[in-house]
Amino acid sequence: MGIDQREYRQRREQLMAKIGNGTAIFRSAPTAVMHNDVEYVYRQDSDFFYLTGFNEPEAVAVLAPHHEEHRFVLFVQPKDLEKETWTGYRCGVEAAKTVYGADEAYSIDELDEKLPQYLIKADRIYYHLGRDRIFNNVILSHWQRLMAGYQKRGTGPIALEDTHPILHPMRLVKSEAELELMRKAAAISAQAHNRAREFARPGRYEYEVQAEIEHTFRQEGGIGPAYPSIVASGANGCILHYIENNCQMQDNELLLIDAGCSYGYYNGDITRTFPVGGKFTPEQKAIYEIVLEAQLKAIEEVKPGKPYNEFHDMAVCVIVKGLLDLGLLRGDLEEIIKEEKYKPFYMHRTGHWLGLDVHDVGVYKHNEETWQTLQPGQVLTVEPGIYISPHIKPTEGQPEVPKNWRGIGVRIEDDVLVTASGNEILTSAVPKLIEDIESV
Ligand code: GLY
Ligand code: MN
Ligand code: MN
């Protein structure tokens, strides 16, 4: 299972067909220090990985479709057996060609010397100005030097263009091989959630549940968590990014778990909320029913041709209606939606693209009025929630929230693939209906 070299090559060809006489440059992700001389586990930049499958730091990929011999060039860390003894295997310059399909490869130390030959005939440079300011300056100074000779030569890049608007629409629609990895990431994530639900009970700690989840990720061949796992009991469920996971779970509390596995660089992202002691209180059940209905109805809006905002709008509508019925909101449905008076209860959007990044790339809007249209091969999350913080403050004119509703946080999140006929829920192996999550 995985992406083969042919697919990486096709992606590069597809990109090169779009940049004409330009040269595109991609930089590997930097390493990150955890403390002193210990580094975090390396994670390649997703754009770089998408085009190369190459998983080492200190690398630069150049795509120069107009170059006669070297259309794909890799600059990599050279082999160095002594350094590799300490910091791990390096592929080296030769294998960059034989294994990764580069037409030419160099040591990263030769970048300044070798890069200009791939830029001098380009009409523009495609490069995303990223967070690495030093490397941004490397590219800008090459451009500046080339332009200094433009008058004499009459050739050279006269513009810098961002790579994202070209590359990210490609990443947004997943291939069969990518979907296979995403299905596996979803399946492991689902397995972990099911194990967590069986394990959780009053008296146990949130971190014990986290350990069960992350054990499954690794045990099943995943890289690990796709993002810091959220295991939030009781009112902790009202904190969207609660990751302390250090509280003891009590009877009569809900447990909100938002955790996903990264597998082969692709990510799962699932949230489930269930009663720690096996039975919902009436208030918890009422909130859960609204969120579940919002999620099910929102998923129905995920199909080809639908504008991206419609599943979110549907979720908001169901949530507001439900809160009005419970008396937690007051007034006219449309006005509450228009004036966003539901926001103290529901402050985030209903989903995001999912792929190599958990919050994956691709525009949501083409311009102020036009949303992206859903199309087969896109994967997104559908994750409505209601969060009644102990400290919730109603907006003007809205009622105070009675005490018995406070401290309830519910989110339900699935990963959904847009298919030709509608959608496929990749994470349906984790139950969410009340009769399936309450214990008898
Ligand atoms: N766990 C991150 C998210 O749901 O967006
Ligand atoms: Mn999530
Ligand atoms: Mn999500």
Nearest atom of ligand 1 to the alpha carbon of 260: 1
CA of 360 to the centre of ligand 2 (A): 12
Please give the domain boundaries of the chain with CATH numbers for all domains. 5-170 (3.40.350.10), 173-437 (3.90.230.10)
Q: What angle do CA 203, 227, 377 make, to 5 degrees?
A: 125
Q: What is the mean pLDDT of the chain?
A: 97
pLDDT band of 19, cuts 50, 70, 90 = very high
Nearest CA to ligand 1 atom 3: 269
Helix, strand, or coil here: 62?
Answer: strand
What is the pLDDT at residue 439? Answer: 84
Interatomic CA distance for residues 433 and 419, integer angstroms:
24
* Core vs surface per residue 175-189: b (16+ CB within 10 A) or e: eeebbbbbbbbbbbb
pTM value is 0.97
Report whether residue 258 contacts ligand 1, using a CB cutoff of 6 Å. yes
CA of 189 to the centre of ligand 1 (A): 13
Nearest atom of ligand 1 to the alpha carbon of 227: 1
Interatomic CA distance for residues 46 and 162, integer angstroms:
16
Instruction: Give 352-400 as a DSSP string.
Output: -B-SSSSS--S-SBSSSS-BPBP-TT-EEEE--EEEE-TT--PPTTPPP
Interatomic CA distance for residues 412 and 155, integer angstroms:
56
Structure token pair of residue 101: 């399909």
What is the pLDDT at residue 46? Answer: 98
Interatomic CA distance for residues 363 and 171, integer angstroms:
11
Beta strand ranges found along 250-361 (DSSP E): 254-259, 261-263, 266-267, 270-275
Report whether residue 227 contacts ligand 1, using a CB cutoff of 6 Å. yes
CA of 258 to the centre of ligand 2 (A): 5
Report whether residue 269 contacts ligand 1, using a CB cutoff of 6 Å. yes
pLDDT band of 151, cuts 50, 70, 90 = very high
Q: Which residues are within 8 A (CB) of 184 and not within 5 positions of it... i.e. 6 or more apart?
A: 1, 263, 264, 266
Question: How do residues 333-386 score in pLDDT, each as one tens digit?
Answer: 999 999 999 999 999 999 999 999 999 999 999 999 999 999 999 999 999 999
Of 47, 49, 26, nearest in space to 111 by CA: 26
Q: Which helix (H) or strand (E) holds 72?
A: strand 72-76
